[in-house]
């Protein structure tokens, strides 16, 4: 958790991201373009699989 200065202006929050692949640079994409959605869904499973029905 970081403050707004470290966080791009967002309030402190937590991202839960899953990946079938190890990140190349220690980071995962926070968003993807609509045209990359299907590829992203194959690489990055829905975190609700472990967190439950959040939304």
- Give residue-wise pLDDT tens across range 2-54: 778 877 888 888 878 899 988 888 888 888 999 999 999 999 998 888 999 98
Number of folded domains that form the chain: 1
The verdict on residue 49 lying in a domain is yes
The token pair that represents 25 in the structure block: 């640079």
Range of the domain at 30: 19-55
Confidence at residue 39, expressed as pLDDT on a 0 to 100 scale = 94
The verdict on residue 9 lying in a domain is no
Distance (Å, rounded) from C-alpha 21 to C-alpha 44?
Answer: 8
């Amino acid at each position: 958790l970081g403050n707004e200065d470290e966080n791009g202006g967002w309030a402190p929050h937590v991202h839960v991201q899953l990946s079938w692949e190890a990140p190349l640079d220690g980071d995962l994409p926070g968003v993807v373009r609509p045209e990359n959605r299907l590829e992203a869904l194959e690489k990055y499973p829905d975190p609700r699989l472990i967190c439950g029905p959040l939304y």
